[in-house]
Copies of this chain bind each other. A is one copy, B any other.
Amino acid sequence: MDNLLELLVERIGEKRAEHSIRVMDTAVKLASHYSSDINKARIAGALHDCAKYRDKSYLLKRASDFGIILDKTMIINYQLIHGPLGAKVAEDEFGIEDEEILDAIRYHTTGRENMSLLDKIVYMADYIEPSRNFSGVELARQLAFKDLDESLIYAMNNTILDLIKTNKLIHLDTIKARNYLVSKKLYSSLNL
């Protein structure tokens, strides 16, 4: 783990590595709370931003080197690329082979339809880690430990509202993730 964090600082800088450690700690707490695999949460939390490079052209070059096919939204909102690229870098540079960890890294920004428990833990840990300081974060923190799916719907709704306010594209995976969770709640409330 120490080696992994050292390499992380080297790749994305100290500030982003500090955020990663906070996400790692929060992911471990959530995994413990929901009886999920703590070691996987630790690694996925630590590495979720392992490809969040500052330099746009380097980000694009690496994505191209790995043969990642960018969808229309990622071409414009290129910051989204660090998710799928992160999964490749975690495998290639950090030696991670576990598909569940790689998926949690891949989808930590957009979410996806039918998210795994680890996906959800990393997504929410990134959203609520202690230094996050936006309006509504306290409610998100409470929800995350009370009803993980509800906290994801809350976080995704806020994300969609922000994207609308700032006139940005909305990634289809975020809508698919939210629709899936909203449908699940609806069906469970109908006892289906």
Contact = CB atoms under 8 A, between A and B. Distances in A.
Contacts of A169: 179, 182-183
A167 interface: yes
A170 B178 contact: yes
Main secondary structure of the interface of A (DSSP, over half): helix
Contacts of A186: 76
Interface in A125-183: 157, 160-161, 164, 167-170, 172, 175-176, 178-179, 182-183
A54 interface: no
Sorting the interface of chain A by its residue count into under 10, 10 to 19, 20 to 34 or 35 or more gives: 10 to 19
Interface in A67-107: 72-73, 76
A172 B183 contact: no
Nearest to A156: B164
Contact of A164 (B160, B167, B172, B183): B160
3 tightest CB-CB pairs across the interface, nearest first? A169-B179, A157-B164, A175-B175
